[in-house]
Amino acid sequence: MRRTFRSLLESEKKFTGCYITIPSPEIIEVLKYAGLDYVILDLIHDGLTVADLRPMIMAADSCGMAVMARVEADDASTIAKVLDLGVSALRIPNVDNAEIARTAVRNAYYAPEGIRGVCPNVRANRYACFGPVDTKAKNEELVISAIIESIEGVENIEEILDVEGIDTINVGRSDLANAKGVSGQQDHPLVEQAVLEVAEICTRKGKSCSVTINHPETAGKYKAITGITHFMVRQPVNILYDGYKNIVDTIRRETE
């Protein structure tokens, strides 16, 4: 039942996911029932810890949800731990240049491509119950997504994409908006221009790009851009707030 992020990329269909910042296997199941294809377990923002990830990844595997984890490029220990737990993809923030991208690849891949240690007795390797680790297959399965969050990152996008092992790109709208002086305006024309520029370069180089969709009705404008293969939508906490706020406001309006 386990679904890898690589299999989604190879499906040649556009697909959708979201970040999760709270420890809840149940939310992952509900998101899958709703039709989402992948989740990003965020170890950068809020309080999610590596210890929280095991039941969440197990829930994802049981319902066929692909799992990414967001970790720093130079945090080799955390990268090893989340991969040992069974995530099939990494999302690396603040990739401003090719050197940061190479650091992520080096820490995530088994030799000869990287320096990740081989430990058979972990969940991702089925606790050594079924023979030695197939490091070649594990390297081929892994997907690394680089988040471009600065003006420098946009300027260096071609050299970042040229790093072997970088499969997908995402433009971090919030940080880029801040860098461009339009903080809080994720859909500002300056940010959207950068998104489209990066997507065009990804398309030209045969790489993949994801786009954050704040308003689902706008997704159609990305339909014909082949380099844009997947989307991110608002987090569960945002949807939960909107849903209950609407219910409560409606009840009050109808009963006051």
- When the pLDDT of each residue in the chain is averaged and rounded to a whole number, the result is 96
Give the integer Cα–Cα distance in Å for 254 and 250.
Answer: 6
3-state SS, one letter per residue, for 52-113: HHHHHHHHHHHHCCEEEEECCCCCHHHHHHHHHHCCCEEEECCCCCHHHHHHHHHHHCCCCC
- Tell me the angle at which helices 76-85 and 50-63 cross, rounded to the nearest 10 degrees: 30
Rounded to an integer, the average pLDDT of 40-49 is 96
Give the per-residue pLDDT at 92. Answer: 98
Taking Cα atoms as reference points, which of 242, 230, 217 lies closest to residue 18?
A: 230
d(CA 108, CA 115): 7
Residue 199 is predicted with a pLDDT of 95
Residue 57 CA to residue 99 CA, distance in Å, equals 30
CB atoms inside a 10 Å sphere around CB 227: 20
pLDDT reading at 220 higher than 90: yes
For residue 193, what is the domain's CATH number? 3.20.20.60
Q: Is the peptide bond before 120 cis (omega within 30 degrees of 0)?
A: no
Which stretches of the chain are assigned E, i.e. beta strand?
Answer: 15-20, 38-42, 66-70, 89-92, 143-148, 168-171, 208-212, 228-233
Q: Which tokens in the block code for residue 1?
A: 């039942």
Percent of the chain with pLDDT over 70: 100
Exposed/middle/buried for residue 236 (C-beta within 10 Å: 0-12, 13-18, 19+): buried
Report the alpha-carbon distance of residue 169 to residue 225 in Å, rounded.
Answer: 14
Each residue's pLDDT tens digit, 234-255? 999 999 999 999 999 999 999 9
Give residue 1's pLDDT.
82
Give pLDDT tens digits for 93-137.
999 999 999 999 999 999 999 999 999 999 999 999 999 999 999
**129-170 residue pLDDT tens:** 999 999 999 999 999 999 999 999 999 999 999 999 999 999
Name the least confident of 3-7, 45-49, 246-250: 45-49
Domain range enclosing 208: 5-255
The domain total for the chain is 1
Q: What is the pLDDT of residues 193-211, one digit of tens each?
A: 999 999 999 999 999 999 9
Q: What confidence score (pLDDT) does residue 79 get? A: 98
> CA 97, 114, 58: angle at the middle one, nearest 5?
95
pTM of the shown model: 0.95
